[in-house]
Amino acid sequence: MTKIFLYIKKLTERFYNKIFQTDYTQFVFFSILIGAAVGFATVLFHNSIEFFNKIFFTQTKEGLFFLGAAAVIVLPALGMLIQSVMISFAPDISKERGVAEVIKSVAGNGKRIPLRTTIFHFIAPVLSIGSGNTVGPEAPAAQLGGGVANKIAHLLKLSDSRKRVFTAAGSGAAIAAIFNTPMGGIFFALEIILLNEFQTSTFSALILASVTSSAISRIFLGDTSVFVFQSPNVGEYHLIYLYAVMGVLAGFISLLFIKYSNVLDSFLSGRILKKFPRWIWMMMVGLIMGVCGYFYKEIFGVGYAAVNSILNNSLSWQVVAVLLGLKFILVPLILNSGGFGGIFAPSLFMGACFGFLFGTSVNYLFGLQLDVTAFILVGMGAVLGGINSIPIASILIIFEMTKDYSFILPLMLAVVASTMVVNVTLKKSIHERHLEKQGYRIHKRKDISLLGNLQVKQVMKKDYVLIPEDTPLTKVLNRMMDSSHSTFFTIGNNSKLNGIITESELRPIITEYEHLREVLVARDISTREITTVLENDDLDHVMKLFESKDADELPVVDENDNRMIIGSVTRQDVITAYNKENLKLNLVESFSRELRNIDTTKKIKVMEGFAIVEKKPAADFWGKSIAETALRSRYGLEILMIKKLNSPYSDDDDSKKYILPKPDYIIQSDDLLVLFGPEDKISITNNW
């Protein structure tokens, strides 16, 4: 039986190696695999919301028949109560919610998202939205997609960079599936999860995963547009400025929403939740939600049906205004009190309400006959982009959800105007600000994180050029011709730094050299505005100074005396340091990937004549300490580490636990020894 199993295993490995001969083939396969897994998970998430919506609003409501129509008031409160119980049992996991957790994982090079966290944040939003709370499914779906992709990447033992890419791809694929918008999902991942960091390989993974996920969503959930409307007429193009005005106003609404949410969060966490148990406050918020839904049923749940009513002009402007106010107030109230859900769908809802009111007002005030439908659709994109700081994703999501190209120009104009208002005011997206509030500083680019870990003292040089300020121009030019430096520092009689001379100061003088050589000294041509750095400054800060000052060399000064020069740092020094760190990072990642992939049938050749191999210990080693086995003296081999197998469902970062053993470590039968030594010595282990 064992021989049959080994034979089947060998055939499987041969088939795998034949199919996946190239790294790119594996990359494509894993991208599609993750897209498919996320697609099925998102379909399950969507159907679960529908299922619990029926449980709450059909069975539970019928069970509360004695309350009559007022039974709907109790349903959101019941949902909030269940969520509060979940929070009390898992307070730490409950805090790891939303898109922010995926961003942290991606920024941490694909660090583990625990499976229990993914499951928790699957169930909680389903209960929240299913019980009628007026929040969206998108952020939980993005977290679900990122969590599923992250777990698969760890089970497949992919490299850290691949985990990072596929976690982001999974999150984008979930958005693609939940909205049925593959391009929107791609740019959601780029703009939010990856913080606009673009790489070709990343983009390929996003495309493959999003298209696969969206295809599965269309198979099971249908391919019809979520919104139903007649193709809009955007009007004469000399009136297109109205959409820009609406975009600016949408930006201010988005800004007000973000500010209100932040103030409410501080108020609730700082005062209310310190005085009242969370479950009482969450039930009160649920009752408020229920009362609002009792009078305005359109406010319940995701709200796409209400958006269609607005598109079809089925609601009066007074009702639409009330719905806008309720959605604006209730969404932050629910989320900041502890409820689970997202703000994408509420953004679309508020945008539709605002677009309807704006278009109606323009027609009434100026006697125009513009198609309000166009303003509704454009308003949806403008508020979505403004609140979430995702201009490109917003444009594509609205375009793909509506499947109508006729209003694309006004849509782009309004979305850009809205996001510009928010970005100019806040500088950062709502998700980045949320992470900073938690104490996380997210680097948008790898070069920033690499340079941020290096200091000036690691690269500064002592061969800078000092010139006394009274040096004649002729000698300054001679020094420049003889030196490899392009920047000179002038000093006074006290040997303190008082100016900088660069080629840009010398170049205009050369044309008048014959007239000026006996007149000018170094003091006359030096720049007195000096930008200095300290030896403990990080190189990211220095590189920004090089870019903003258009300089090639900066003086390093004493921290107690900003005129006492102790060294210099050049732009090339910083670039060289970055290249070295990047090379080391790539080498470490490559080696660690190879180390994780070795098994009992393969070895890694480290250098000529030496290799690393993974082996199970010989039977006579079991129960003995490493010192007792005398591996070094008997075989000439070193134990680099020991691997212990974990359950594939474990929340550990890998399927194996790595141990750096001490001489007294007792070897177990299920250990895996990672051995290093000469290849001829390693071949002896084949007989173990």
pLDDT band at 259 (very low <50, low <70, confident <90, very high): very high
pLDDT at 619 over 90: no
- pLDDT of 649 reads 46
Helices 408-426, 391-402: inter-axial angle, 10-degree rounding? 150
Nearest residue to 290 (alpha-carbon basis) of 61, 513, 527: 61
Q: Which helix (H) or strand (E) holds 501?
A: strand 497-502
- pLDDT of 27 reads 78
464 assigned to some structural domain: yes
- pLDDT of 6 reads 56
- Strand 487-491 and strand 466-468: the pairing is parallel
- The amino acid at 337: S
pLDDT at 352 over 90: yes
540 assigned to some structural domain: yes
pLDDT band at 249 (very low <50, low <70, confident <90, very high): very high
The predicted model gives 113-142 an average pLDDT of 90
392 assigned to some structural domain: yes
Q: Please, which residues have CB within 8 angstroms of residue 632's CB and are 6 or more apart in sequence?
A: 638
Residues 353 and 495 in one domain: no
The 10s digit of each residue's pLDDT in 385-403 is: 999 888 998 999 888 888 8
pLDDT band at 593 (very low <50, low <70, confident <90, very high): low
| Neighbour order of strands in the sheet with 553-558 | 533-534, 553-558, 561-570
Which two structure tokens, joined as six digits, stand for 517?
């050589």
The predicted model gives 90-98 an average pLDDT of 84
CATH number of the CATH domain containing 353: 1.10.3080.10
Domain boundary among 427, 444, 461: 444
- Mean confidence (pLDDT) of the chain: 81
In percent, the amount of the chain with pLDDT more than 90 equals 21
Q: Is 153 helix (H, G, I), strand (E, B) or coil?
A: helix
- pLDDT of 655 reads 47
Residues 465 and 538 in one domain: yes
- pLDDT of 201 reads 63
The 10s digit of each residue's pLDDT in 416-429 is: 999 999 988 887 77
pLDDT at 192 over 60: yes
Total number of domains in the chain: 4
Measured CA to CA, the distance from residue 556 to residue 559 in angstroms comes to 9
**Parent domain of 131:** 20-221
pLDDT at 178 over 80: yes
Residues 439 and 473 in one domain: no
- pLDDT of 335 reads 92
CATH number of the CATH domain containing 536: 3.10.580.10
Which of 458-462, 499-503, 584-588 is predicted least confidently?
584-588
- pLDDT of 204 reads 80
- pLDDT of 92 reads 85
589 assigned to some structural domain: no
591 assigned to some structural domain: no
Residues 145 and 38 in one domain: yes
Q: Residues 2-39, buried b or exposed e (16+ Cβ, 10 A)? A: eeeeeeeeeeeeeeeeeeeeeeeebbeebbbbbbbbbb
In 427-484, alpha helices (H): 430-437, 446-452, 473-482
Residues 403 and 548 in one domain: no
pLDDT band at 510 (very low <50, low <70, confident <90, very high): low
Residues 207 and 254 in one domain: no
584 assigned to some structural domain: no
Q: Which of 3-17, 194-208, 344-358, 668-682 has the highest mean pLDDT?
A: 344-358
- pLDDT of 664 reads 82
Residues 573 and 608 in one domain: no
Q: Which of 342-346, 402-406, 607-611 has the highest mean pLDDT?
A: 342-346
pLDDT band at 101 (very low <50, low <70, confident <90, very high): confident
Q: Residues 61-97, buried b or exposed e (16+ Cβ, 10 A)? A: beeeeeeeeebbbbbbbbbbbbbbebbeeeeebbebb
Residues 254 and 143 in one domain: no
Q: Please, which residues have CB within 8 angstroms of residue 658's CB and are 6 or more apart in sequence?
A: 641, 642, 643
Nearest residue to 31 (alpha-carbon basis) of 191, 217, 156: 156
Query: What torsion, rounded to 10 degrees, do the Cα atoms 26, 28, 31, 35 define?
Result: -130
- pLDDT of 327 reads 95
- pLDDT of 433 reads 72
Q: 473-478: which pairs have CB atoms within 8 A and are 24 or more residues apart?
A: 473/509, 473/513, 473/516, 473/517, 473/519, 473/520, 473/521, 473/522, 473/525, 474/517, 476/501, 476/506, 476/522, 476/525, 477/506, 477/510, 477/513
* CB-CB contact of 555 with 489 (8 Å): yes
The predicted model gives 479-487 an average pLDDT of 76
pLDDT at 451 over 70: yes
Residues 439 and 461 in one domain: no
10 assigned to some structural domain: no
pLDDT at 328 over 80: yes
12 assigned to some structural domain: no
Residues 610 and 539 in one domain: no
- pLDDT of 3 reads 56
Tokens 């959605």 correspond to what residue? 327
Measured CA to CA, the distance from residue 642 to residue 653 in angstroms comes to 16
The predicted model gives 446-451 an average pLDDT of 58
- pLDDT of 288 reads 93
- pLDDT of 380 reads 94
Residues 438 and 476 in one domain: no
* CB-CB contact of 140 with 45 (8 Å): yes
The 10s digit of each residue's pLDDT in 196-222 is: 666 666 778 888 888 899 899 889 888
pLDDT at 588 over 80: no
Measured CA to CA, the distance from residue 566 to residue 569 in angstroms comes to 10
Query: What torsion, rounded to 10 degrees, do the Cα atoms 161, 164, 166, 170 define?
Result: 180
Residues 161 and 73 in one domain: yes
- Strand 561-570 and strand 603-607: the pairing is unpaired
- pLDDT of 620 reads 81
pLDDT at 42 over 70: yes
Q: Which helix (H) or strand (E) holds 294?
A: helix 278-295
pLDDT band at 601 (very low <50, low <70, confident <90, very high): very low
Concatenating the DSSP letter of every residue in 157-180 gives T--HHHHHHHHHHHHHHHHHHHHT
CATH number of the CATH domain containing 639: 3.30.70.1450
- pLDDT of 600 reads 43
The predicted model gives 367-386 an average pLDDT of 91
Q: Residue length, the chain?
A: 688
Beta pairing partners, 338: none
Q: Which residue has the higher pLDDT, 248 or 294?
A: 248
Q: Which of 131-135, 580-584, 613-617 has the highest mean pLDDT?
A: 131-135
Which of 436-450, 481-495, 550-564, 668-682 is predicted least confidently?
436-450
* pTM of the complete model: 0.68
Q: Please, which residues have CB within 8 angstroms of residue 608's CB and are 6 or more apart in sequence?
A: none
Q: Please, which residues have CB within 8 angstroms of residue 328's CB and are 6 or more apart in sequence?
A: 257, 260, 350
